[in-house]
Structure formats: structure tokens, C-alpha cells
């Protein structure tokens, strides 16, 4: 694993040479120029490189540790080291994503680092998260998720990935979750994101449905999931392909978690209402073409209908926490999930499940 720098100034030519070594053996970095450092769940920056020997990318993207509060929250979620360990595993993933050079974890400081391709160097356009994706972008993303899910469908993960587990909301977190949801719903209401509390019946009901959704994701055929495929974690390449960023919530679970979260959370409400059945059918067809015994329509639709509670609760929690995502992104995503929750009668669906 890579050593984890204590500051961005420690991204020296020697450190970057070591970071690139697996994919660019023998390369020697001459200069390192760190671009503006952005905050969020993690800190991150685009880094420009020149070389004294060998060849490598002109720029790479580096993710470092976020604030102390964000690191503790990720630790509590079991997500602190996931992306770094996934990057370091060297296991290829069969969908569009930034190829990693490597990752590192410093458990003593609860700090991680990941070095990966700068997708903008290939002309990629990262999504803002606030604006929805269009139908073609979602269709491409679902095709990628189908390839990922099919590759690991009901199969043991390769040894380097066996640290991945289903996500679970334990009993000790139930009261904390409800308090956080109540705070997030109040903030959403103050900001004009109406309907979340009314649609779900309030924080206690949504908290129970959040836990139920997580439990459901651990039943049925299990596979490798991205875990957090919302619009701000995607980008679009010039040829129209949709790629997925930010793998720190990767986990194992039921395919519907990724599909429902991505589809309902990404599309503008009229587009989702018009296209969601066709898009879900296309995903199932892609699974079948990959040799997976895809579920029948009724089963798949029932699982899909149950997913908006998890997405809605996740983003209400995100708004409540306050430092993971910009407020405008939270509110826009919450509104998309509120509409899906109501349209799909998710509360009833979870009772039926």
C-alpha cells in the first residue's frame, strides 16, 4: 500500500514515482504541481506531473483525507478505507471508472489516499449532482452496472475484495438515525424541499424503512455494488458513456440497491415516470446477455419499487450532517427521491416485502 502523506506538500516527486510504479514501472517523476484542493467527504485535487525518466500521465487525480468529522463518520459507516483498499487490490472492474494507480490507509490517523486517472484528460465531463442526468446517460450507466453485477453475480469475490460486506444499520444506530433524519427533514423543510416528511410519515417511519431497505439489500442474489451511484458520482465521456466515481461505499448486496438508487436519484421526475420501466427492462436484458439468470419482471419491479426509501433517507442524512455534499445538491436529490417514493408507493411496497 501507499504511504499516506500528512499534507499535500508531501506529494513529492519520489512519492508520486512510487504511486505510479505499478502501472508505469521505472517511471521517475521530476515535478509535482498540486492544483486547488477541494473539500467534501474527502479532500481532493488534480495534480500535474512532469517526468525525468519514462512516461506517465500529465495529470492524475488524488483523494486525501477529509475533515476529522468526515473521517469519523466514514469509520462509523465502515467506509473509511473501502476505496483505498479497492484501488490497491488491482482487481479490474468491468464498467467505466477512473483506473486507480494505488491506495493507502493509515489507521492510526484514520487517513487514506487514492491516486487515480484524471478522467477529464480524456474529455470527461463530471456531473454536478444538482442537475439530473438525461435518459441516455442513465441508460449507459445501467448498462455498466449490469456488467459489474453480472461479473460477480452469486460468486465468491476474489480474495483481494473479500473485505467488502453488506451494509447494515445495527440496533445501536437506530436512535441516532432517527435523530439525524428528523434534523435533516427540518432543514429540508426550511429550504423549501417540501414533501419529504409528509410523503414518508416522518423521521421514525423513514428510519424504520431505511433499516428495512438495507436489510432487503442483503437478501436475494448477491453481487458487487458501487453502493452510492448518485449523479455527483458520475461523469460522461465524449462518446456518451457514463462512468462512476467515488467507490468508498462499495459493498456486496442485491442488484436493486444500485439500480433503484441510480435510476430514481438521477432522472428528472418526468423522465423517470416516462422511462423507468423501459430502463429497468433494459438492465434486465443486459444481465441476460451476460449469462445471468435475470429475475422476472414482477420480482424485479417489486424490488425496484422498494428502493427509494433508502435513497431518500441517505440524502436526508447527508443534509443533516452538513459537510458531505453541498446543500443545493442534497435538496435537488431529495426532491427526486420524494417524487419516486410517492409515485412508486414505496411505503406500501416495503410492507409487502
- 85-100 confidence digits (pLDDT tens): 999 999 999 999 999 9
pLDDT at 331: 93
Confidence at residue 63, expressed as pLDDT on a 0 to 100 scale: 96
Better-scored residue on pLDDT, 350 or 272: 272
Residues in Cβ contact with 182 at an 8 Å cutoff, skipping those fewer than 6 apart: 202, 203
Residue pLDDT, tens place only, 109-160: 999 999 999 999 999 999 999 999 999 999 999 999 999 999 999 999 999 9
pLDDT in tens, 120-131: 999 999 999 999
pLDDT top residue among 322 and 225: 225
pLDDT value for 197: 58
* 174 grid coordinates: 437506530
Asked whether residue 42 carries a pLDDT value surpassing 80, the answer given is yes
Q: What is the mean pLDDT of the chain?
A: 92
Q: Point out which residues pair with 115 in neighbouring strands.
A: 62, 102
Q: What are phi and psi of 14, to 5 degrees?
A: -65, -40
Average pLDDT, integer, range 302-306:
96
Q: Average of pLDDT values for 257-277?
A: 98
pLDDT value of residue 293? 92
Is the predicted pLDDT of residue 352 greater than 70, yes or no? no
Selected residue with higher pLDDT from 75 and 234: 234
Q: What class does CATH assign to 8-122?
A: alpha beta
Model pTM score: 0.94
Q: What is the pLDDT of residue 265?
A: 97
Distances (CA, A) of 110 to 68, 136, 152, 317, 338: 9, 39, 30, 22, 35
Tens digits of residue pLDDT in 167-198: 877 666 767 888 999 999 989 888 876 666 56
- What is the tens place of the pLDDT at every residue in 52-85? 999 999 999 999 998 888 888 888 778 899 999 9
Q: Are the beta carbons of 332 and 326 closer than 8 angstroms?
A: no
Among 264, 293, 261, 233, CA closest to 96: 233
- pLDDT (0 to 100) of residue 120: 96
3-state percent breakdown (helix, strand, coil) of the chain, nearest 5: 50, 15, 35
Residue 320's pLDDT is 92
Strands 125-126 and 234-236: antiparallel
**276-303: pLDDT as tens digits:** 999 999 999 999 999 999 999 999 999 9
Confidence of residue 329 (pLDDT cuts 50, 70, 90): very high
Mean pLDDT of 268-275: 98
| Residue 31 in grid coordinates | 515535478
pLDDT of res. 176: 81
What is the CATH number assigned to the segment(s) 125-352? 3.90.1200
Amino acid at each position: 500500500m501507499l504511504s499516506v502523506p500528512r499534507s499535500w506538500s508531501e506529494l513529492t516527486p519520489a512519492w508520486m514515482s512510487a504511486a505510479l510504479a505499478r502501472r508505469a514501472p521505472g517511471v521517475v517523476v521530476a515535478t509535482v504541481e498540486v492544483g486547488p484542493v477541494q473539500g467534501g467527504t474527502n479532500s481532493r485535487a488534480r495534480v500535474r506531473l512532469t517526468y525525468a525518466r519514462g512516461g506517465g500521465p500529465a495529470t492524475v487525480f488524488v483523494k486525501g483525507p477529509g475533515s476529522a468529522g468526515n473521517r469519523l463518520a466514514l469509520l462509523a459507516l465502515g467506509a473509511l478505507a473501502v476505496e483505498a483498499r479497492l484501488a490497491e487490490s488491482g482487481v479490474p472492474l468491468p464498467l467505466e471508472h477512473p483506473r486507480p494507480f494505488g491506495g493507502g490507509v493509515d489507521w492510526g490517523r484514520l487517513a487514506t489516499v487514492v491516486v487515480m486517472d484524471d478522467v477529464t484528460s480524456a474529455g470527461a465531463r463530471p456531473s454536478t449532482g444538482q442537475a439530473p442526468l438525461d435518459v441516455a446517460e442513465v441508460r449507459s450507466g445501467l448498462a455498466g452496472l449490469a456488467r459489474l453485477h453480472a461479473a460477480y453475480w452469486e460468486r465468491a469475490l476474489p480474495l483481494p475484495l473479500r473485505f467488502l460486506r453488506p451494509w447494515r444499520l445495527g440496533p445501536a444506530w437506530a436512535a441516532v438515525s432517527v435523530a439525524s433524519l428528523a434534523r435533516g427533514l427540518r432543514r429540508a423543510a426550511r429550504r423549501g424541499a417540501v414533501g419529504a416528511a409528509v410523503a414518508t410519515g416522518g423521521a421514525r417511519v423513514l428510519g424504520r424503512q431505511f433499516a428495512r431497505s438495507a436489510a432487503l439489500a442483503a437478501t436475494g442474489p448477491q453481487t458487487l455494488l458501487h453502493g452510492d451511484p448518485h449523479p455527483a458520482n458520475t461523469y460522461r465521456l465524449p462518446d456518451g458513456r457514463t462512468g462512476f466515481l467515488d467507490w468508498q461505499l462499495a459493498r456486496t448486496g442485491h442488484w436493486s440497491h444500485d439500480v433503484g438508487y441510480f435510476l430514481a436519484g438521477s432522472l428528472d421526475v418526468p423522465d423517470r415516470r416516462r422511462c423507468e420501466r423501459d430502463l429497468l427492462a433494459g438492465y434486465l436484458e443486459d444481465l441476460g446477455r451476460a449469462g445471468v439468470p435475470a429475475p422476472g419482471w414482477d420480482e424485479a419491479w417489486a424490488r425496484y419499487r422498494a428502493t427509494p426509501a433508502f435513497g431518500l433517507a441517505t440524502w436526508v442524512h447527508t443534509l443533516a450532517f452538513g459537510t458531505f455534499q453541498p446543500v443545493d445538491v442534497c435538496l435537488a436529490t431529495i426532491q427526486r427521491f420524494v417524487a419516486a417514493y410517492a409515485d412508486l408507493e414505496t411505503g406500501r411496497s416495503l410492507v409487502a416485502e
